[in-house]
Structure 1
């Protein structure tokens, strides 16, 4: 922690990039005081922090892209007990009116923090959930690569010369991979048949390697997910995959989401009014984290099929005239409430009590 210099209250903003960050300082009325560029290194982060506190007591720092380009700086500022708020990149209309440059964006971020427009607390990126996020990225990449390899394997089987194609036709995916692993092409690959055998074997080896990688990462993910959110995993219909996604969405500090309604909005499960005239209804939200929304949807689908309480609820709401889409919307909102309370009970630092 760094002691701030006594003096006037100021607000700061940072426009983040890959190699440099541009910082700006404004007074409480939003009037510019100074701006400066710093490198994205440990020394650069510390120099930026030292530079900020020379202007007085920093009330808040608005930082763009706290989950990507600004993640390192956000960690340093938070460790110094500075209030960091996440600032959205200026929209196209604002950029068209005011122009675009690093100082302009930095001052805009500082004014957003000073005016109170920016209030979102960024994720901490310092705990088990951040490790979980990184492993999920590696697993998703491996799954995508395996799917691509499988599609290529099937495509080569279709175009392979006879009788190779006939020997591989009608096999399941697992049997096809195992059969291709046993292929023995000749050393001379000028023949289309031998080239096809070689290509099929290489793709099968890649699929086997990626499958082993996916299984290994999945095992680590299951352990981390159960450790980070035991109460979440215990909920009906919540597996380690959906629990992992919801944990990543909330972050290591779910207490930053002050209410369960805020968490529902983050997951795109908050009802959006769609009333007009004599019509009084709500619709599904198209905003929020779509992967978290998908996780809630999968939980709702599982409960609609296997949970007696949910099945009774669906039957009752169907008799009341609600469509299946509206029923799922209601279920996702209920599930978001349960998930939020499970997350906040898991993290003692939360100030929100679960009911």
Structure 2
């Protein structure tokens, strides 16, 4: 009986994995159409790009990269304690986009490259790892904003961000 249950569970896992892979392939086609330069950012995968595109709903609605950073929660909040000026984590903003930006930052730090260099440079300046990651996330937010604007101006007129809606049942 245990073997039969295990066999059923393994076949269910395989079926779900195939379904997930098929959905991700469909999502990849949509994201490549809507935001090719977003996928060109190191560490930005299909799922992160889709979350950013879907939650942003058009980068042109933000007047600047600072407004976009405020929207996604990467804009720093200044705190004053005695004569030392510091910033703290912004717990507001869109947490889905913030999470996608964080995953991009973590990937960049782990894989090396510009993100890891920037992270190391900030730590050499005396920043804690959390502060350095927060600064890297803000830098990635600015780059994502530029990519979204570039993709929006280059996008074909018949494709809109709302086309990213993928039905769960296939």
What is the TM-score with the length of structure 1 in the denominator? 0.41
8 A contact 2:74–2:141 mirrored in 1: yes
1:214 match: 20
Give 1:226 shift: 0.9
Q: How does 1:26-175 map to 2 (within 5 A)?
A: none
1:223 match: 29
Structure 1 segments (4+ residues) deviating >6 Å? none
Query: How big is each residue's C-alpha offset from its partner over 1:207-236, in whole Å with a ceiling of 9 and x where there is no partner?
Result: 222112111101101111111101111122
Query: How big is each residue's C-alpha offset from its partner over 1:42-81, in whole Å with a ceiling of 9 and x where there is no partner?
Result: xxxxxxxxxxxxxxxxxxxxxxxxxxxxxxxxxxxxxxxx
- Kindly indicate whether residue 132 of structure 2 is the aligned counterpart of residue 345 of structure 1: no
C-alpha spacing 1:199/1:330, structure 2 compared with 1 (3 Å)? same
Larger radius of gyration: 1
- Kindly indicate whether residue 37 of structure 2 is the aligned counterpart of residue 239 of structure 1: no
Q: How does 1:265-344 map to 2 (within 5 A)?
A: 265-344=70-149
Q: How does 1:246-265 map to 2 (within 5 A)?
A: 246-251=52-57, 253-265=58-70
Query: How big is each residue's C-alpha offset from its partner over 1:122-147, in whole Å with a ceiling of 9 and x where there is no partner?
Result: xxxxxxxxxxxxxxxxxxxxxxxxxx
Q: How many residues align?
A: 154
Give 1:296 shift: 0.8
How far apart, in 1, do the equivalents of 2:116 and 2:73 lie? 23
Query: How big is each residue's C-alpha offset from its partner over 1:278-301, in whole Å with a ceiling of 9 and x where there is no partner?
Result: 231001111122221111111112
> Of Structure 1 and Structure 2, which has the larger fraction of its residues in strand?
1
Greater RCO structure (CA 8 Å; 6+ sep): 2
Q: Which segments of 5 or more consecutive residues in structure 2 lack a partner in the other structure?
A: 155-170
Query: Which deviates further from its counterpart, 296-305 or 196-205?
Result: 196-205
Give 1:318 shift: 1.8
2:164 match: none
C-alpha spacing 1:287/1:220, structure 2 compared with 1 (3 Å)? same
C-alpha spacing 1:197/1:319, structure 2 compared with 1 (3 Å)? closer
Give 1:310 shift: 3.1
How far apart, in 2, do the equivalents of 1:314 and 1:212 lie? 37
Query: How big is each residue's C-alpha offset from its partner over 1:177-221, in whole Å with a ceiling of 9 and x where there is no partner?
Result: xxxxxxxxxxxxxxxxx3x34433332332222112111101101
What is the TM-score with the length of structure 2 in the denominator? 0.81
Give 1:254 shift: 2.3
> Of Structure 1 and Structure 2, which has the larger fraction of its residues in helix?
2
